[in-house]
């Protein structure tokens, strides 16, 4: 492959990579802000499940004593189950966090995330608008920014997040780190062994 | 995503396959728009690369659609309980 062909290929890969970086960045932001619109549905299903289970178990236990649970008893058990499920849901799913209500270190993390994404979008736009400029410059500086950001991700204190998002933090961080490795492969033409 | 909400509201009595088609078509258009913005032609991508982008977008659209359908009252009976 000639150098010109290789350069063209790497330019194409870089542009494509900016889209993947954006997806990985959105994943981190949505997770810290607990933005998952599907969670509402999951919460409702869990509430119905827990409430129904409590009705089933409650009527079975009462039945052991030879007492039939009437309509009101079932409703009371269901309501208790519903209240218990709301407490569990709050711990597991939490609710969407407003940017103004998060901790300062979280604000810094999200700000750095956005800055890095914007910087690479700008580089991509320059590649598209000025095809003859010297490409793939400032690698060390860009790599250092990624290193610093990955450190922020690794030291992030997720205690303010609901359980679902605490668990997901490592998953979205791994996706982001994968894109940092891809950046090396494309921008510095480094290959992983 | 607002456009997707509107489309889903209009097809809330649709079959599962119609729902899937709407999400897939919306996701395809979104990916094409992203590629255009990034200065990439679909022909420059391999099938696998394009499919990877499309799969990611479909996943995002479906997550959003679930929330939108709940909000739009498809699961209204559950909302009453909540």
Say if the Cβ atoms of A37 and B66 lie within 8 Å: yes
How far CA B50 is from CA of A53, B26, B47, in Å, comes to 44, 15, 5
Q: Note the pLDDT of residue A45.
A: 80
For the stretch A124-154, pLDDT in tens is 998 888 766 667 888 999 999 999 999 999 9
In the numeric block, the tokens 């394009």 are attached to: B50
The answer to which of A64-68, A116-120, A131-135, B73-77 has the lowest mean pLDDT is B73-77
Is residue B67 within 8 A of residue A41, CB to CB? The reply is: yes
CA distance A145 to A149: 6
- Does B6 touch chain A if contact means CB atoms closer than 8 Å? no
Residues 16-55 of A with CB under 8 A from B: 16, 18-19, 23, 36-41, 43-45, 47-48
DSSP state of B45: S
CA distance A52 to A122: 53
The average confidence (pLDDT) of chain A is 87
Closest partner residue to B70 among A41, A125, A127, by Cβ? A41
pLDDT band (50, 70, 90) for residue A190: confident
For the stretch A5-44, pLDDT in tens is 888 888 999 999 999 999 999 999 999 999 886 777 777 7
Is residue A24 within 8 A of residue A175, CB to CB? The reply is: yes
Closest partner residue to B81 among A36, A39, A82, by Cβ? A82
Q: Which residues in chain A have Cβ-Cβ distances shorter than 8 Å to B70? A: 37, 40-41, 44
Q: Which two tokens stand for residue B81?
A: 């309980």
Q: Note the pLDDT of residue A132.
A: 62
Number of domains in chain B: 1
Say if the Cβ atoms of A19 and B34 lie within 8 Å: yes
CA distance A178 to A53: 41
Say if the Cβ atoms of A82 and B69 lie within 8 Å: no
Q: Which two tokens stand for residue A1?
A: 């492959």
Q: Note the pLDDT of residue B81.
A: 41
Mark out the alpha helices in chain A (DSSP H runs).
Answer: 3-32, 38-64, 71-93, 104-129, 139-154, 163-187
Is residue A190 within 8 A of residue A184, CB to CB? The reply is: yes
The low-confidence residues of chain B, meaning pLDDT below 50, are 75-82
Domain range holding B68?
A: 2-81
Query: Does residue A69 sit in helix, strand or coil?
Result: coil
User: Which one of B67, B74, B79 would you mutate to disrupt binding with A, by most A Cβ within 10 Å of its Cβ?
Assistant: B67
Question: Which residues neighbour A184 within 8 Å (Cβ) at sequence distance 6 or greater?
Answer: A143, A190, A192
CA distance A5 to A8: 5
In the numeric block, the tokens 């799969």 are attached to: B55
Q: Note the pLDDT of residue A105.
A: 96
Residue range A76-93: mean pLDDT, rounded: 84
Give yes or no for residue A69 having a pLDDT over 90: no
Closest partner residue to A15 among B38, B64, B82, by Cβ? B38
Q: Which two tokens stand for residue A119?
A: 């910087």
Nearest CA in chain A to B49: A16
Q: Which two tokens stand for residue A107?
A: 């604000």
The answer to which of A58-67, A73-82, B9-18 has the lowest mean pLDDT is B9-18
pLDDT band (50, 70, 90) for residue A101: very high
For the stretch A169-183, pLDDT in tens is 999 999 999 999 999
């Amino acid at each position: 492959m000639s150098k010109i062909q290789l350069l063209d290929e790497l330019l194409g890969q870089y542009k494509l990579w900016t889209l993947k970086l954006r997806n990985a960045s959105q994943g981190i932001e949505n997770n810290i802000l607990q933005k998952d619109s599907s969670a509402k549905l999951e919460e409702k299903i869990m509430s119905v499940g827990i409430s129904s289970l409590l009705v089933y178990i409650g009527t079975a236990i009462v039945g052991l004593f030879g007492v039939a649970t009437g309509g009101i008893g079932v409703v009371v058990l269901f309501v208790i189950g519903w209240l218990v499920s709301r407490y569990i849901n709050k711990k597991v799913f939490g609710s969407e966090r407003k940017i103004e209500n998060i901790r300062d270190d979280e604000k810094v993390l999200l700000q750095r995330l956005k800055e890095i994404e914007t910087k690479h979008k700008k580089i991509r736009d320059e590649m598209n608008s000025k095809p003859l400029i010297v490409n793939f410059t400032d690698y060390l500086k860009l790599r250092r920014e990624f290193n610093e950001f990955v450190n922020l991700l690794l030291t992030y204190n997720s205690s303010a997040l609901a359980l679902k998002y605490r668990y997901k933090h490592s998953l979205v961080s791994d996706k982001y780190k994968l894109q940092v490795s891809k950046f090396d492969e494309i921008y510095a033409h480094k290959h992983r062994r | 995503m607002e456009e997707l909400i509107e489309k889903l509201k209009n097809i809330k009595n649709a079959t599962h396959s119609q729902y899937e088609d709407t999400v897939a078509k919306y996701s395809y258009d979104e990916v094409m728009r992203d590629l255009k913005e990034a200065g990439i032609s679909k022909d420059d991508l391999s099938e696998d690369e394009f499919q990877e982008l499309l799969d990611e977008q479909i996943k995002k659209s479906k997550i959003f659609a679930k929330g939108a359908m709940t909000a739009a009252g498809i699961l209204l009976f559950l909302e009453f309980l909540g």
